[in-house]
Amino acid sequence: MQGLAVVPLFAGFDLDAPDAASGGRIFSYDIAGGRYPEQYYHSVGSGSLFARGALKKLWSPGLDRAGAIRVAVESLYDAADDDSATGGPDITRGIYPVVMTATAGGAERVAHDELDAVVRAILADREARPGA
């Protein structure tokens, strides 16, 4: 195989799900295009092992929107801590990840200002507990 390989992660909301709580869907794909349904959370990329470890400890059923956003951003920080190819949020330059939410009402991108507040809260918590 040559060229650029893309291993996507697809997440959305199934309007035909039996109840709203079970409507979230995540699919991962392998290099040959095989599709795999995932449960609850998933990550892809060079830092995915570290991100998935963070998701495993931080995710819980029933997270509200704010909690889910925080868990996603915190897992990215954990991945960036241990993988040099994973970039985390950069408050100095105002560079933040693209974070999307999906509900029965539709999908939306989380605003830059909201991500800024989440990132600053995570950094404040980490500064208060160095090494934790």
Q: Is the pLDDT of residue 62 over 80?
A: yes
Q: What angle do CA 30, 36, 42 make, to 5 degrees?
A: 85
CATH tag, 9-128: 3.60.20.10
- For the chain, the structural domain boundaries read 9-128
Percent of the chain as helix, strand, coil, to the nearest 5? 35, 20, 45
pTM above 0.85, yes or no: yes
How far apart (Å, rounded) are the C-alpha atoms in residues 50 and 60?
17
- Per residue in 88-131, pLDDT tens? 899 999 999 999 998 888 899 999 999 999 999 999 999 998 87
Over residues 22-49, the mean pLDDT reads 90
Q: Is the pLDDT of residue 54 over 90?
A: yes
